Structure 1
Amino acid sequence: MRIEIWSDVVCPWCYIGKRRLETALSDFAHADEVEVVWRSYQLDPTAPRGESVSTLEALGARFGGPDQVRQMLARTQEMAAAEGLHFGDASLHANTEDAHRLLHLALDAGGASLQGELKEALLAAHFVDNRDLGDHAVLQDVAVTVGLPAARVDAVLASQEYADAVRADVEQARAYGATGVPFFVVEGKYGVSGAQPVETFTQVLARAWDDSHPKLDLVGGGDAEACGPDGCAV
């Protein structure tokens, strides 16, 4: 069973939603048969490349000033803490296209498992350690730490490789009708918008699994005469 997740590496609700999905999967009997693939989405594709400012400053200009943003961030930190995440106080606002291109590299190089490791590492770097994900040196360090070859990472960062894949992901999100992230698509059939409660993920996992593994409705009971592996009783 495949779950595709559209998110950004600087989206707090994406990190919180990730943890809630993981909690649901921890109690899902078929979790070892679930593949999670991360898709690209940029909250601010217009952010200048190679330049970073504090999240407080960037959001303050859009949401009523720094005091309003401090209240928003405090609420987000509280919600994150409930999921075992401890956000730092000095995150940076940056263009995330390069981070997404590396996530596509990870998927190609090591499959969904390696991509998942990189996604977690990038989220932690931004929210927990407050590192600058617009800085190529930071991206290179994070990517190499999870096992990507340094030479390939450098080559991707020095080019526009996978930029088309990032754009394709964004276009697919729009086609699905996603207006924000996180946005989860299960088996290409069920959409879940936002960092929903664990119970919602539990329900959609069970429903998608049952749909893809239908059970026969046995009519008439199972005690009529029949032949089995030991022969036929006559």
Structure 2
Amino acid sequence: MVKQVTQPEGPQVVIEVWSDLGCPWCYVGKHRLQAAIAQRPDAERFEIVMRSFELDPGAPQEPEKNETSFIRAHGGTAAEVLQAERQMQAIARKEGLEFSLDRLNANTFDLHRVVQYANDQGRGFEFFSSVQDGFFAGTLNPYAPDTLAGVAETVGLDGQRVREILASTEYSDRVCADRDEGLELGAVGVPFIVLDRRVAAPGAQKVLVYDQLLEQVAGPVPRVRVS
């Protein structure tokens, strides 16, 4: 007979994710973290909270080509950027993720302000994830207010409220505070993940590593045994 050995559900575990929209490793790392959580029978214990971290605070408001954005911020040539993008595309596709090479980048501060609002409504991760997935798939313009309002509505948020936020400066202080706190905790880039305020994980880890980190903060998963 196969019996499920159950364990107490245990307390909620908060996983804070410092991330930015156009970071490819944030995109891949997010899905790896989700996969690690999903394979646990106690997946509902884990709450992912998005934290804001602009990688390029000086990026222009007007969208520009991905290679233009990268060269402006980091140097290099268009050929080098394309080669790196193709390598990242191969990694993403190997994990079942869409990855368009035809992306535009711009300042993400306003998006982060909406994420802060979404966090207040308990929908921060769902909202950010939907925007980022559409962005990397090449099916969504994250810099258009109407687009963000539409995505917000799909995850149960008030689209009109999103438009009001984008037309104001609301949540600006919180976006800046998030980045400052991430730096204080040791983030030198993103993704940067803090589990239960006890364990930090810089960079996009493998699913197995995330699984080990989840076990470290939440205990082992329930086992199945034959008796």
| Same fold per superposition (TM over 0.5) | yes
Unaligned runs of 5+ in 2: 1-12, 221-227
Tell whether 2:29 aligns with 1:17: yes
Alignment-derived partner of residue 157 in structure 1: 166
Residue 99 of structure 1: aligned partner: 111
Q: What is residue 75 of structure 1 aligned with on the other side?
A: 87
Q: Which amino acid in 2 is paired with 1:173?
A: G
Change (3 A) 1:130 1:179: farther
Deviation at 1:119, TM superposition (A): 1.3
**Alignment partner for residue 202 of structure 1, among 204, 208, 211?**
211
Partners of 2:100 and 2:39 in 1: how far apart? 29
1:137 corresponds in structure 2 to 146
3-state SS of 1:196 partner: coil
The alpha-carbon deviation at position 158 of structure 1 amounts to 0.7
Deviation at 1:151, TM superposition (A): 1.9
- Larger RCO (CA under 8 A, 6+ residues apart): 2
The DSSP-based 3-state class of the residue aligned with 1:19 is helix
Render the CA deviation track for 1:61-107: whole Å, top value 9, x for unaligned: 43311100000100111111122111112111110011111111111
Hey, what's the Cα distance between the residues in 2 that align with 1:18 and 1:25?
A: 11
- Alignment match, 1:226: none
1:83-94 equivalences in 2 (<5 Å): 83-94=95-106
Aligned twin of 1:7: 19
- Taking structure 1 as the reference length, the TM-score comes to 0.84
State the match for 1:176 in structure 2.
Answer: 185
Q: What secondary structure sits across from 1:161 in the alignment?
A: coil
Superposition deviation, residue 144 in structure 1 = 2.6
Name the Cα RMSD after superposition: 1.5
- CA distance in 1: counterparts of 2:188 and 2:125, whole angstroms: 23
How much does 1:156 deviate?
0.4
Quick check: 2:140–2:147 contact (8 Å CA) kept in 1?
A: yes
Q: Distance in 2 between matches of 1:44 and 1:130?
A: 23
- Who is 1:115 aligned against? 124
How far, CA to CA, are the matches of 2:179 and 2:156 in structure 1?
26
Separation (CA, whole Å) in 2 of partners of 1:3 and 1:11: 19
Post-superposition shift, 1:129?
2.0
Residue type at the aligned position of 1:53: E
Q: Which residue of 2 aligns with 1:128?
A: 137
SS at match of 2:201: strand
Tell me by how many angstroms 1:118 deviates: 0.7
For the Cα contact (< 8 Å) 2:146–2:163, is it kept in 1?
no
AA partner of residue 42 (structure 2): H
CA distance in 2, matches of 1:47, 1:63: 14
The separation in 2 between residues aligned to 1:101 and 1:58, in whole angstroms, is: 21
Residue 163 of structure 1: how far off its partner (Å)? 0.8
- Out of 47, 51, 70, the position equivalent to 1:59 is 70
Identity %: 38
Contact 2:116 2:124 in 1 (8 A): yes
TM-score, length-scaled by structure 2 = 0.86
SS in 1 for 2:219: helix
Name which of 189, 193, 209 aligns with 2:202: 193
* Structure 1 residue 128: Cα displacement: 0.5
Q: Which secondary structure state, in structure 2, belongs to the residue aligned with residue 18 of structure 1? A: helix
> Aligned partners of 2:42 and 2:195: how far apart in 1?
14
> What is the letter of the counterpart of residue 75 of structure 1?
Q
Query: What letter corresponds to residue 31 of structure 1 in structure 2?
Result: A
